[in-house]
Each structure stands twice: as C-alpha cells, then as structure tokens.
Amino acid sequence: MTDENARRAADALARPFTVRGSTSPNRIAMAPMTRQFSPNGVPGQDVADYYGRRAAGGVGLIITEGTYVDHASAGTSDQIPRFYGEDAFAGWSNVVDTVHRAGGTIIPQLWHVGVTRTEGAPPIADAEPVGPSGISLTGKPKGRAMTQQDLDDVVAAFADAAAAAERLGFDGIELHGAHGYLIDQFLWAGTNRRTDAYGGDILARTRFAAEIVAACRAAVSDAFPIVFRMSQWKSGAYDAKLAQNPGELDTILTPLAEAGVDVFHASTRRYWLPEFDDSDLNLAGWIKKISGAPTITVGSVGLDGDFFGALATGENSAVTGIDQLLDRIERDEFDLVAVGRALIADPEWATKTLTARTESIIPFDGAMLKTLH
C-alpha cells in the first residue's frame, strides 16, 4: 500500500461512528460468521479470545456469529451459541468484557433459522421446523406454517434477547433478517404464501419483521441501537430478489425504519456489484439513499474470491486492495465496512490496513475454518 492509499484508508475508515448511545472507534466491523465452536450452545474462553483478538487488532465493531433466540425451533446445531440460559449468558458476558478490554464494541446477531432447521437436530431434537407457510427455500413442503401464537412467541423471544443483550453490556443488537432464515422467509415471496395480514404484497410481508423490530425497540433503552441485516440472495437461491427495483426496496425499508431500525446491514456476495440498473450503487448504497439510515456494506472485502467457494470447497483467497471500497465510502455510499474471511485469516487486518502494512496481511486459507484462531 502506498502512503497515499494508507492516508486514504485512515481518513475513510479510522473515523468514529456513533449511533444512539454507542460509538465504534472506527468504520471497520467484523462480519457475523457461524463458526460452531460453542459446545452445548455456550461460548467459552476460546470464543471470547477469538473476538478479543480482532478487537485488539483494530476492529471497531464486532458483530457476533448468529446466536439462537429462545424458541424451540430457532436452532439447528448444539455447537452454535444460543442467547438464552444462564450458562450461555455467562459466556457472552465474558465475551463482551474481553472485547471491551481490547478497545472494541460488540453486538450479538440474534437468529431464528425457521424452515431451514434440520428435523431432529439439536439443540431441541423434537422441535418442528416452522416458517411462514411450511415451504422450504426450494418451494417444497417442510415443517409447518406458523400460527398467531407462534408469531407472538417468536416476537417475544427476540424482544427478550434484546433486553438481555443490553443487560449483559453489549453495545446494540443485530437482527438476522437475511439469507433465507425466518425473518427473511416472511419478507420473500418465495417462502411466504400466507393470505393473512403477514402475507400477500411486499408491505404485508414486512409486517412480521417490523413487529420484531418494534418489540426489540420497546424492550431496550433509547441509547441502545438496533441493526437489521438483510439480503436479496438466499442460501441456495443466489439470484433471489426481495426487491426488483428501488421502489419495492423503499416499501420494505420504510416500515422497518419506522419500527426502530437504526442501521441496515446489506449482505451481498461482492460489495462492488451494482444492485439495480442505471446506477453503480451497491445494495448498501441504495438502502442509504432511500431510507437515509446509516448502512454497513459487506462482500469479499480485501479478497479475490467470495465466501461460497470457501465454505463449499475450502477454496483459498488471495489478498486484494480496497481502492474501490475507499472510493465508495469517500462519497458516502455507506458508513461502515464489514470484513469476514479476511479477519478469520488475519486478526490484525484492520490495523495493517490503516497503517500501510498491507503487504504483511495473511491470505485466507480454507483450512483456517477448522480452527478458532
């Protein structure tokens, strides 16, 4: 990295970012990445150290891996952390303290997998997969459609988790509304075939998500920020679209913002790809333009391959520059940058990027996913 590029990186990314009562020391976030190193759903000291190393390495905001809310059908593994139970809360409290001591901020990503749950899987083996319509991401029957009681129970579970996050000292929460999991299953016409108030047109399909946001907003203080992660693509349906155009995107964003979303996290495979025709704005850029809310961009930051190859085949990725990323953040297309596999590879990626030491950044190797470093 040249001195000029290092100056640009520092000017663009080293600025603090404040939302409500929380301030990240810079614009670099760690993207949420499921690692499955929490036996019985409890994050241990190794998980705390894993996140703490990234905070010590210069990451301003840690977004944890997805963590299950307290609903029987929310999860599909007993190695993924949960966000209920005193044992799990004790683990998370240690994670928070470790990250704060290292100088970072941290928010948990609250998660319900919906119909993607594997039947018979832990943590609650006899829990049936549930979703808006009892339809899998491929359109085949799976699980069952949620009743009004189910919907109310899940809304309450997210609100309880939000309150617990604030009580444990987290700096906000992120709601996982992306990738074909439960909240996204309601947003997407491909999985939501309901004919009641929670299905039908785009606005009706946002109702469940907005109710979760509003319940979380009511459960926490005014100083506590809410981030909402959303995506067009779904697991196994990478060309799926929630919104075909900016007008449809506006219809989704408005009720969510009104319900209390402070920041939108736009999950894309590659941050540099335009979302709609006739503009080079990416999804985070369009969300910010339409809603006026701050946004987080993500997608192959600092690497030459996307995460699908890494997860499916253990594919390696080489380190690349971030000039285009800097171009975009300098013109305020988005506000923060979430970094994923590059931070699995090198906990000091942020500091090296901000101090002209990019030549020493460690490239991503698929074998790194087998350990928690």
Beta pairing class for 173-179 and 61-68: unpaired
| Cα separations in angstroms, 301 against 202, 330, 346 | 31, 16, 13
Helix (H) or strand (E) holding 24: strand 22-24
Q: Give the residue among 292, 202, 208 at the shortest CA–CA distance from 241.
A: 202
Q: How far apart are CA 161 and CA 167, in angstroms?
A: 10
- Which of 50, 68, 84, 181 is catalytic? The answer is 181
Structure tokens at 202: 């785009």
* E strand residue ranges, 69-223: 105-111, 130-131, 144-145, 173-179
Q: How far apart are CA 335 and CA 60, in angstroms?
A: 13
CB 120 within 8 Å of CB 63:
no
Helix (H) or strand (E) holding 264: strand 263-267
Place of tokens 């942020």: 350
Q: Give the residue among 100, 98, 73, 71 at the shortest CA–CA distance from 85.
A: 71
| Cα separations in angstroms, 229 against 34, 209, 343 | 15, 11, 19
Query: What are 226's strand-pairing partners?
Result: 173
Q: Can 181 be counted among the known catalytic residues?
A: yes
Active-site residue set? 181
